[in-house]
């Protein structure tokens, strides 16, 4: 369940989705349509593998946002590996 809708939208855009933010968040990419509402990600049958990608992209956005908020330096070492350094 995404706590921050803006971060979720940024994560979807990072993955190359076109996002429409109506009452139900709808995203499109290469013929795939996903709907996100009430904490649920709904995808077409056979495309379930995109759900972990969305969750990982959302987590990356949360980490980046927290680093900026607290004034830390964030360096990405690998796709899902970051080094966070506290600035003094």
**pLDDT, tens only, 25-49:** 999 999 999 999 888 899 999 999 9
Nearest partner of 79 among 43, 42, 52, 41, judged by Cα: 52
Other CB atoms within 10 A of residue 24 CB: 11
For the chain, percent of residues with pLDDT exceeding 90: 64
Can you spell out the DSSP letters for 43-58? --TT-TTHHHHHHHHH
Q: Model pTM?
A: 0.86
């Amino acid at each position: 369940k995404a706590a921050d809708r803006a971060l979720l939208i940024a994560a979807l855009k990072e993955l190359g989705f076109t996002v429409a933010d109506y009452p139900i968040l709808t995203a499109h990419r290469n013929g795939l349509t996903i709907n996100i509402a009430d904490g649920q990600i709904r995808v077409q049958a056979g495309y379930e593998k995109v759900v972990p990608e969305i969750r990982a992209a959302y987590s990356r956005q949360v980490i980046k946002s927290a680093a900026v908020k607290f004034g830390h330096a964030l360096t990405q070492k690998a796709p899902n590996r970051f080094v966070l350094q506290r600035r003094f």
